[in-house]
Amino acid sequence: MSISEKNITDEQFYKKFERTYQNLTLTGKAPWLKEGKIERDIAYNPVSGVIFKGVNALMLEMSAAEQGYKESRWISESEVNDLKLRVRPGQNPTPIAYINRYAHATDVHPSTGKAFDKDHPKQKYYHMYNIEQLREYPMIRESGMTLDNAIVQEKIRRVVLNTRTNNFPEILDRVSSAAEEKIKDDKAKIVAQELARYRMTQEFKGNFIPSTPKLLMKDASIKTHGATLLTTMYHAEVAKDRFISKGMNLENDKVRTVTKTRQNEQNRGLSL
């Protein structure tokens, strides 16, 4: 039985993050070890439209990979209850953080993107469920907000402006270099570079081609652990997010949402 979301501690969250990462590496399930078509979109909430960022995006992506989910849609425990949905027996939630060492507090709920209220109070962690964990999945799989072409086009426009190139291999090299700038450990640098390349490819639904030999990446992953692992992955994700943020300023894009991105695209009148 999982711990109540109100009782999750920072240490429990960090340990789950590291355990999931290491399990993916040791079993060969880590998507950044595989060449080919990206298995799923970036994690987002189909009810609120929030596109998860930072350590939360990584936690949800790793959880989906570990459990073999092709879906990237996640809803909160409170939304499951509000919508009167049912979780399949034996299914455990995945925690995301409102605030900890790697998640910076904003003035909105990390899953709904809305202001906190008495029914949705502010707390450090929240439980999320992948929609494949729901009994109603066969009936709701075609419903809710989706990541359509408008969102990809918006990200392309931003990353081209920020990197001054439309050559994707060059963009991957740029994000890879930025990801390892603040990392001191040589093994951790390899992890940061490869993860940033994978995550940027995932943003654009492309084909991922690992730049590091699998055995070398596995060795680097196994030897990168604890606070070093979380810090490394955090910097890799931030580097990726910065390149797809307006003016490379993350403050301009604290909460990405499906609807906000689509509205911005429509307001500019860009063709798809």
Tell me what the mean pLDDT of segment 233-248 comes to.
92
114 φ/ψ angles, rounded to the nearest 5 degrees: -110, 165
Q: How far is CA 227 from CA 18, 41, 63, 230, in A?
A: 9, 27, 19, 5
Average pLDDT over every residue of 171-197: 96
Element (H, E) at 149: helix 149-163
Number of neighbours of residue 108 by Cβ within 10 angstroms: 17
Tell me if 57 sits within 8 A of 43, measured CB to CB. yes
- Confidence at 164, pLDDT banded by 50, 70, 90: very high
The yes-or-no verdict on residue 81 having pLDDT over 90 is yes
Tell me the β-bridge partners of 128.
76, 94
pLDDT over 90 percentage in the chain: 71
SS3 content of the chain, % helix, strand, coil (to 5): 50, 10, 40
Mean pLDDT of 100-129: 89
Res 267 pLDDT > 50: no
Read off the amino acid at residue 136: E
Segment 194-218, tens digit of pLDDT: 999 999 999 998 999 999 999 999 9
Q: What is the mean pLDDT of residues 7-24?
A: 95
Task: Say yes or no to pLDDT of 87 above 90.
Answer: yes
Average pLDDT, stretch 30-39? 93
For residue 102, how many other CB atoms are within 10 A of its CB? 23
Residue-range domain boundaries for the chain? 5-140, 149-264
Q: How far apart are CA 105 and CA 2, in angstroms?
A: 24
User: Do 65 and 29 contact (CB within 8 A), yes or no?
Assistant: yes
pLDDT at 36 (0 to 100): 94
The encoded tokens of residue 254 equal 């604290």
pLDDT at 253: 53
* Whether residue 187 has pLDDT greater than 80: yes
The set of residues, in sequence order, having a beta carbon less than 8 Å from that of 156 and lying 6+ positions away, is: 204
**Strongest mean pLDDT among 150-164, 185-199, 252-266:** 185-199
- Please say whether the beta carbons of 112 and 70 come within 8 A: no
Closest CA relative to residue 2, chosen from 127, 131, 119, 111: 127
pLDDT of residue 254: 53
Note the pLDDT of residue 136.
95
Whole-angstrom CA distances from 262 to 150, 187, 206, 272 are 6, 39, 20, 11
Q: How far lies 2's CA from each of 44, 53, 247, in Å?
A: 22, 24, 41
User: Quick check: 269 pLDDT over 50?
Assistant: no
How many whole angstroms separate alpha carbon 41 and alpha carbon 73? 9
Any alpha helices (H) in 120-213, and if so which ranges? 137-140, 149-163, 168-179, 186-203
d(CA 87, CA 131): 9
Query: Residue 267 CB: number of other CB atoms within 10 A?
Result: 8
Backbone angles phi, psi at 2, to 5 degrees: -80, 155
Please give the full DSSP string across 98-112, using - where no structure is assigned.
Answer: SSBTTB---SS-TTT
* pLDDT for the residue numbered 117: 87
> pTM for this structure?
0.89
C-alpha 251/C-alpha 242 separation (Å) is: 10
Considering the chain, what is the average pLDDT of its residues? 88
DSSP state of 246: G
Residue 100 pLDDT > 50, yes or no? yes
